[in-house]
Amino acid sequence: MLEVGAAPLNFRYRVIGDEVLRFMGQNYTGQWLSDITHQAPPSTLFETLSEAVNGPLPILYDTPLSDPDQNLYSSQEVVLPLSGDDGQVSRHLTFVEFACAELN
């Protein structure tokens, strides 16, 4: 679950599942994406979350990843924008599935 901040647009990790934490290698709970070097704009993650605010429609996307041991993985994410009574997107509920990438 990510909180949407405005002026300027930003996103803060509110709740991160255990499996996502395992793949992230670090707990970013409470941190803004703009403060995380590899997730700050113009990262794919930041741009996708921005698109879900402006859409606001669910988004499905794929991300290639590697861990510190250089094992290759892929992830597929679904971003669901959630809005309050005012109709403004205030949160993103995001589901992530990780898979080992096949090497040829």
The model's pLDDT over 38-90, given as tens digits with 9 standing for 90+, comes to 899 998 889 999 999 988 899 998 876 655 565 656 788 999 999 989 989 99
Classify domain 2-100 by CATH architecture.
Answer: 2-Layer Sandwich (3.30)
Q: Cβ(4)–Cβ(11) under 8 Å?
A: yes
Calpha distance 28→11 (Å, rounded): 11
Q: What are phi and psi of 88, to 5 degrees?
A: -85, 140
Could you give the CA distance from residue 34 to residue 88 in angstroms, rounded to a whole number? 21
Q: What's the rounded Cα separation, in Å, for the pair 71 and 46?
A: 24
Question: Residue 22 carries which side chain, given as an amino acid letter?
Answer: R
8-45 tens-digit pLDDT: 999 999 999 998 888 788 899 999 999 999 899 998 88
Domain boundaries, the chain: 2-100
Task: Name the pTM for this structure.
Answer: 0.83
DSSP state of 16: -
